[in-house]
Amino acid sequence: MQVPRVPVVVHLGGPGDLAGAARSRIFRPPLPPAPYPPRPMHTTPETTDSVRDREIAEEQSHLDTVYRRLEEKLAEAEYILEDAAKRVQVGTPGALAERDAQVYRAGAHLQRLNSEFEDFLFGRIDLQQADAPEEHGIPSQTPMDPADPAVAETLHVGRLGVLDAEYGPLVIDWRAPAAAPFYRSTPLEPGRVIRRRVIRSRGRKVIGVEDDLLRPDLTPTLDGRELAVVGDGALMASLGRARSHTMRDIVSSIQKEQDEVIRAAAAGATLVTGGPGTGKTAVALHRAAFLLYQDRRRYAGGILVVSPTPLLVSYTEGVLPSLGEEGQVAIRAVGSLVDGIEAERYDTPETARIKGSGRMVQLLRRAARAALELNAPTELRVFARGESLRLDAGRLKALRATVVGGGGTPLNLLRPRARRLLLDALWQDLTRHLPKPTTHSEREQRQDEREAFDEYVSDESAFLDFLDAWWAPVTPRRVLATLRHPRHTNRIARRAVTPEEARLLAASWRHLDARGGGALSAHDVALVDELQVLLGEPARPKVREVDAVDMLSGLDELTTYAERSYGRRERVPVERTEYAHVIVDEAQDLTPMQWRMIGRRARMATWTIVGDPAQSSWPFPQEAQSAMDEVLAGKPRRRHTLTVNYRNPAEIAEVAAKVLALAAPGTPSPSAVRSTGVVPRFAAVREAGAEAFGRAARVELERLLGEVDGTVAVVVPMDRRAEAAGWAEGLGDRVVALGSLEAKGLEYDATVVADPTGIAGESEAGLRVLYVALTRATQRLTVLSGPDDLPDADGVPALLHG
Ligand SMILES: Nc1ncnc2c1ncn2[C@@H]1O[C@H](COP(=O)(O)OP(=O)(O)OP(=O)(O)O)[C@@H](O)[C@H]1O
């Protein structure tokens, strides 16, 4: 047998080597350029350990140098801090300003250096000689001689850049242009890269290396010695790892199509689509880190990452700190975007589709106006200049309409205008019998009288109490509270929503108290935000002077209506309301009302929007698309598609693809990058009743816990969540029970999808939600059906027979 001309190869994979399996059974066209070339299958047993140990020792030596240098930098930063502190004594403004700048710089530096990084240094590329010198600090990626097997340059890539004392690069920041070939080079387009190496370390100790040979056609050499290629490739190694409840960064194995998104220009909007597991969330988070690196000053304005659920926020929020970025990025669930409110309830799908619809804008506008009028006094009486003045209900109604005018100004901000127009009306009544002033001095005199009148009436408690009640501060929650009454809601709904829809809305707010206190849903939060715009922040009322005599007699109130209600209403803490860049994850789920809410935080921002229409739980994609178009209004867009599924093995992806064909016919399935050889299990409970089903689910969960090292989830229809929590009880924190909508974006080593027909039947978007549920597992999937799923003899529900 002819042995191919290749470098020394050491295979580290054990019997369950996923990478090997992946190479032998891949799957469905079209595949992207294979991330890695087929690895020549020969080993040299006697050299295996020594080659690997030698390579690890070499990387250890480099890592030691890096840490020595980091310690020097740390000492330097500490010295700068101390020195800067001493300058306080100098005291001139210039010295103090310089001190502040130094302290800031050194503090930031110290903080970053002190951060405990796992895999601080994680990558290396060995490159051929470039055909041209560096330009603007970016080396050429074209080799001088593509057939030259000699490594001319070696670069190490890490989470932060580190220079040696002579300013030579010891480590290149992963986001620097020079690091791009680490991610972009493929066997089809290797550029100058001969070998890409991922270095795994724990603390300061290198524990392994994984190599990819990008030029298998060469026998590359380094310093005259044959270049070693060790391990099974970083991607497969990382995909095979057990999952925990927190997402890991992918900085050491970002793939080319992902890197193109991460490093895409910031201007306008970057739109990314891709099926489940293609890395959209991972890529979006790495992009945030990249943008900060590239233009820290600009993005000091803040980056907002909008996630669909709090569960996904806590799953992903460790990624940016692990990339050395934290402060400027806010990751918030769409139900937590309004400060002071945390969505705590779910709406039924029928209610959600009404609350999410753009029609709510009209309804809220009317509701806000109606809330202002609620319990408003219908008569104003004041006594001034010896006359009793009165405005009746009709006049007041007309006046209110004049105050509101075209409706553009937030209602709470119209109070000064309301006060002025009331005084105008009273003055007109008082002066209607007087002759019009004709001379200049008469006019001046009338003007003085008017000012005195205004001053007098404005101080009268009758007038003040009236104004406080007639133009009372209205809060968003108070408006929602008015909508708990079906008759009221139906009355103001007029054509914006149907009577049945008005009834559903009212029912969803029935639990709120009169001030709107009580739990809200993520859809309500978008309505609160809309109402905040319609209402504006009420001015803090002036504390009135209290007449001591009144106090003694107890005849008058000590506080005004406005003062009392201001004290009670919810205080909305000040949030950052504008961001420099907004990243939307799972964008397919945003409703038009949510798009409006996010748009208000991004008026000057650039955007990254990632999503998958085939996973949308929103039933009217067209309406959501128009809402997004409105928000992006004319911004240039660049589109990317991610095509490779890194999460699900091919066996699971194949089952999911059947549901995809029903849920979104014609949508291509992303190609699974690996196979485990383990086919999904179909289990059926033929006995009716929740108890038997629960027993079967528990058995399945216990079985899966024994089969995987990491996490296990059971996903059920939303209305079976409490039941499912019972099944998982006592099984430990590796197991979670999730409603179908909560599973969005998450992943587990193993998943039980229970009651698939129930999930599919939950809403108009049910099949797409089922598709999401079926694509959460990285290793094992069980589909657990009840009698309603019409399982066949093998337990496969009718739904999956496609
Ligand atoms: N280049 C990569 N290297 C290693 N792991 C990767 C890579 N790309 C993605 N992954 C892993 O694949 C899994 C899926 O990634 P992610 O959750 O970002 O996908 P997604 O497209 O957002 O999925 P979904 O649409 O289902 O929410 C994660 O575990 C992620 O770490």
- Of the pLDDT bands very low, low, confident and very high (cuts 50, 70, 90), residue 361 is very high
3-state secondary structure 185-204: CCCCCCCCEEEEEEEEEECC
274 annotated as belonging to a binding site for a ligand: yes
Instruction: Provide the β-strand partners of residue 490.
Output: none
275 annotated as belonging to a binding site for a ligand: yes
Q: Which tokens hold the place of 457?
A: 């009436």
Mean local confidence (pLDDT), 490-509: 93
Question: Which amino acid is it at 215?
Answer: R
Given ligand 1 and candidates 200, 250, 583, 770, which is best to mutate, with the most ligand atoms within 8 Å of its CB?
A: 250
Q: How far from the centroid of its chain's Cα atoms is residue 81's Cα? A: 36
Does 637 score more than 60 pLDDT?
A: yes
Given ligand 1 and candidates 196, 278, 319, which is best to mutate, with the most ligand atoms within 8 Å of its CB?
A: 278
36-50, 318-332, 503-517, 733-747: range with lowest mean pLDDT: 36-50
Convert the pLDDT of each residue in 403-429 to its tens digit. 998 778 999 999 999 999 999 999 999
Does 451 score more than 80 pLDDT?
A: yes
Mean local confidence (pLDDT), 10-24: 28
Distance 251 CA to ligand 1 centre (A): 12
- Cα distance between residue 712 and residue 746, in whole Å: 11
CA angle (278, 31, 145) in 5-degree steps: 105
pLDDT computed for residue 216 by the predictor:
78
**Which residue has the CA at smallest separation from atom 24 of ligand 1?**
276
pLDDT computed for residue 564 by the predictor:
37
Residue 309 CB–ligand 1 contact under 6 Å = no
Sorted by sequence, the CB contacts under 8 Å of residue 380 that are 6+ apart come out as: 389, 390, 391, 396, 422, 426, 463, 466, 470
Mean local confidence (pLDDT), 663-683: 93
- Of the pLDDT bands very low, low, confident and very high (cuts 50, 70, 90), residue 19 is very low
Half-sphere exposure (Cβ direction) of 626: Cα atoms closer than 13 Å? 5
Mean local confidence (pLDDT), 56-76: 87
CB 672 within 8 A of CB 680: no
Torsion angle of alpha carbons 187, 190, 193, 197, nearest 10°?
Answer: -30
Convert the pLDDT of each residue in 586-621 to its tens digit. 999 999 999 999 999 998 899 999 999 999 988 888
Distance 759 CA to ligand 1 centre (A): 24
Convert the pLDDT of each residue in 311-352 to its tens digit. 999 999 888 887 877 778 999 999 999 988 999 999 999 999
Residue with structure tokens 């054509």?
Answer: 495
Distance 709 CA to ligand 1 centre (A): 19
User: 733 in helix, strand or coil?
Assistant: coil
Q: What is the largest CA-CA distance in the chain?
A: 120
Q: Which tokens hold the place of 550?
A: 């009144």
Distance 171 CA to ligand 1 centre (A): 26
How far apart are the two ends of the chain, measured CA to CA in Å?
46
pLDDT computed for residue 389 by the predictor:
92
CB 680 within 8 A of CB 785: no
Query: The dihedral of CA 24, 28, 31, 35: what is its sign?
Result: negative
- Cα distance between residue 716 and residue 694, in whole Å: 11
- Strand stretches in 562-674, DSSP E: 581-584, 606-611, 637-642, 644-645, 671-672
Q: Which tokens hold the place of 490?
A: 């139906």
Which burial class, exposed, middle or buried, applies to 410 when counting CB atoms under 10 A from its CB (0-12, 13-18, 19+)? middle
